[in-house]
Amino acid sequence: MDIRLIAMDLDGTALQADRKTFSPRLNAALNAAHQKGVAVVPITGRQFFILPPAVDPAVEWAGLVVLCNGGEVRRLTDGQLLSGHYLGRDALLPLIEAAERLGLPIELSAGDGLYLTRESWDSQRRIGGPLRFHLTDVLEPFGHKVEDLRALLADRRSVEKVNLPYVPDEVRAETERALEALPISWFWSAPRGVEICSPDASKAGGLLEACRLLDIDPAQTMALGDSGNDIPMLQAAGWGVAMGSAAVQVQAAADAVSAPYDQDGAALAIERYVLGQ
């Protein structure tokens, strides 16, 4: 295969169970692909400020990174914004109102961190368990408490993403109806968590924008993913590979299925389809 770009999801695909590191085998495969002239582009729902240590600006293969499920494309080396799609007030105000009405914690991501009210923060602490990683590794270092989220909109800050980190089963259907009525792109990022972005943002769009910036034919790309939001990217790439740990519908959308993420599925795919090993 003539692969010139690897589009790589992070959580559940490239990252180990610690959500911070790559395996030694994946690091070696990425460096070998880079030395062969192949671009490596992480495509993630994460924001620039919350990229894991594995995606360090000093890594050998550093180039472009697609963030917020396609909401932003930046240079990894210095964070320079190359393109962006942001949520407008016509979506944000009703989102805030719906979260308040349904009693849901809500977070707005605006450049340098996550903004949420004290009530939202306390609610997540009470939930505990399934939000432990989010509380300790995301909110503690990057969370900002505000009195009213509407004040952010008055400041005209760019909001690249909104999180509903925990939606109880009893309001799931009503939450989905509220989201479907808004000009947004949204998906379940966890069993009870929702991520919301601009309607113009998608991982597939981020992949195509990276191809445009690097002058690479999308047919010469390989995408690696594991979640529902990765399906459009797997289908837009010339060759889509799902992890063996991915849901059935994700595997069905891919051209091939590798080993599970924690059995070096990403490294095995790169070795086979890019390095020809």
- Read off the pLDDT of residues 208-266 as tens digits, 9 standing for 90 and up: 999 999 999 999 999 999 998 899 999 999 999 999 999 999 999 999 999 999 999 99
- Name the region of 111 (left: φ>0; alpha: ψ -120 to 50; beta: rest): left
> What does pLDDT average to in each consecutive run of 10 residues of the chain (277 residues)?
96 95 98 98 94 95 96 96 94 96 95 92 91 91 93 82 96 97 90 93 96 98 94 97 95 98 97 94
Place of tokens 């690097």: 214
In the prediction, which pLDDT does 111 show? 82
Per residue in 119-158, is it b (16+ CB within 10 Å) or e — as a string? ebbebbeebeeebeebbeebbeebbeeeeebeebbeeeee
pLDDT of residue 163: 95
Quote the pLDDT of residue 130.
87
pLDDT at 77: 95
pLDDT at 202: 93
pLDDT score of 55: 97
23 CB-near residues (< 8 Å, 6+ apart): 16, 264, 267
pTM for this predicted structure:
0.91
Q: Which residues pair with 115 in a beta bridge?
A: 108, 144
Question: What pLDDT does residue 129 have?
Answer: 87
Residue 109 pLDDT: 93
Answer whether 70's CB lies under 8 Å from 37's CB. Answer: no
Check if the beta carbon of residue 160 is closer than 8 Å to that of residue 110: yes
One-letter amino acid identity for 13?
A: T
Q: Among 13, 8, 38, 9, which residue's Cα sits nearest to residue 23?
A: 13
Q: What's the mean pLDDT when you consider all of the chain?
A: 94
